[in-house]
């Protein structure tokens, strides 16, 4: 349970748990802080390399704003001097929370740096302990809550299917929940919708095929695709996963160029960040070519006499060569 003392404390600690959830909790706290302090500058510090002077400068008034929102990662790696500066600031800010900079720290959990966490806790910081999502029930609850974030519901069987396939990849699990809410109006989301994007074999998903293709590993992606089809996966589900991947890249490209905002992209932040990393080497023309090929493959899968597996192979080849 999170420490409930210091509920309005300027210093917050996000402690341990599932790495994706830890990151999401910190992002949520940052968004809350930005709502309260819309004009505050956001400053990011890595405790593994920052020192006490970096921290003191970050929390002090600047030319841009009187207060800042300071995001501190890797708290477990802070040296003694940085730790002392943070504890001193926590005590000082507690007397004037509304006029102080907000500090949000991320700690990966474990014993390293735990002494500093305890000192900050005693100095008035609020500690948020993140769940680890190791048990099936915890993963199932996470899926249900993810849909609730969008004011939507999901059938229990559909939620279990999501956990069975993506339960070990929290980021992908969250992204799938978000994408289903963006793509479909069903309420609740049923298992049929889930199966449009997931293959029958938990080890071989349409997303795995898409990721392998985008990484340029043509032969490996084709082998994965054929294995999925042989195990009973409908080719249209694989086409849907490839199309979702390409739409994500296209949206990431539009965000990067400034054509649309992150909010307009309606993408999970983790997926957007991942898509940004995968954009290297892609052009608008290449994305357009691949999207047109997927439309052709979709037509092949729905036409009598069409060869959807051949069409998928052609799409995978095009995607792995970035549409060139």
The string of pLDDT tens digits covering residues 197-217 is 665 444 446 777 888 899 889
- Segments in the chain below pLDDT 70: 1-8, 196-205, 268, 270
Task: Count how many Cα atoms sit within 13 Å of the Cα of residue 46 in the half-sphere of its side chain.
Answer: 2
CA distances (Å), 167 to each of 45, 149, 173, 237, in order? Answer: 31, 19, 7, 19
Task: Count how many Cα atoms sit within 13 Å of the Cα of residue 104 in the half-sphere of its side chain.
Answer: 23
Q: How many CB atoms sit inside 10 A of residue 9's CB?
A: 23
Output the pLDDT for position 206: 74
Number of DSSP helices (H) and strands (E) in the chain, helices first: 15, 5
In 3D space, the residue among 168, 165, 226, 244 whose CA is nearest the CA of residue 201 turns out to be 165
Structure tokens at 82: 């940085």
**119, 83 Cβ separation under 8 angstroms:** yes
In 3D space, the residue among 267, 111, 113 whose CA is nearest the CA of residue 176 turns out to be 267
**118, 85 Cβ separation under 8 angstroms:** no
CA 151 – CA 142 distance, rounded (Å):
14
- Taking only the tens place, the pLDDT of each residue in 256-309 is 999 998 888 877 676 788 788 889 899 999 999 999 999 999 888 887 777 888
The domains found in the chain, sorted by start residue, are 11-129 (3.40.50.300), 136-320 (1.20.272.10)
CA 173 – CA 294 distance, rounded (Å):
24
Output the pLDDT for position 8: 61
Q: Which residues of 230-267 are buried (b: 16+ CB within 10 A; e: fewer)?
A: eeebbbbbbbbbbbbbbbbbbbbbebeeeeeeeeebeb
Output the pLDDT for position 264: 86
Structure tokens at 78: 């802070």
Output the pLDDT for position 306: 76
CA distances (Å), 66 to each of 16, 33, 52, 69, 89, in order? Answer: 31, 14, 19, 11, 16
């Amino acid at each position: 349970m999170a420490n409930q003392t210091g509920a309005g404390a300027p210093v917050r600690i996000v402690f341990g748990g599932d790495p994706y959830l830890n990151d999401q909790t910190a992002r949520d706290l940052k968004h809350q802080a930005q709502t309260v302090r819309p004009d505050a500058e956001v400053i990011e510090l890595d405790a593994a390399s920052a020192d006490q002077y970096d921290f003191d400068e970050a929390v002090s008034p600047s030319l841009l704003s009187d207060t800042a929102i300071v995001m501190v990662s890797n708290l477990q790696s802070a040296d003694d001097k940085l730790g002392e500066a943070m504890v001193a600031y926590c005590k000082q800010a507690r007397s004037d929370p509304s006029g102080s900079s907000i500090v949000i720290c991320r700690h990966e959990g474990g014993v390293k740096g735990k002494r500093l966490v305890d000192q900050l806790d005693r100095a008035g910081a609020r500690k948020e302990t993140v769940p680890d999502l190791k048990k099936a029930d915890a993963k199932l609850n996470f899926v249900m809550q993810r849909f609730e974030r969008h004011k939507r519901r999901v059938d229990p069987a559909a939620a279990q299917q999501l956990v069975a396939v993506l339960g070990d990849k929290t980021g992908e699990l969250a992204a799938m929940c978000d994408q289903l809410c963006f793509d479909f109006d069903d309420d609740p989301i049923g298992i049929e919708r889930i199966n449009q994007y997931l293959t029958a074999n938990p080890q071989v998903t349409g997303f795995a095929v898409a990721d392998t293709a985008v990484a340029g590993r043509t032969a490996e992606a084709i082998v994965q695709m054929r294995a999925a089809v042989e195990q009973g996966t409908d080719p249209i589900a694989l086409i849907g996963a490839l199309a979702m991947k390409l739409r994500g890249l296209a949206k990431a490209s539009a965000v990067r160029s400034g054509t649309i905002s992150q909010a307009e992209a309606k993408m999970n932040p983790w997926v957007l960040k991942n898509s940004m990393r995968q954009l290297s080497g892609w052009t608008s023309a290449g994305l357009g070519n691949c999207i047109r090929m997927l439309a052709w493959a979709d037509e092949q899968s729905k036409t009598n006499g069409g060869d959807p597996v051949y069409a998928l192979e052609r799409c995978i080849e095009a995607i792995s060569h970035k549409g060139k």
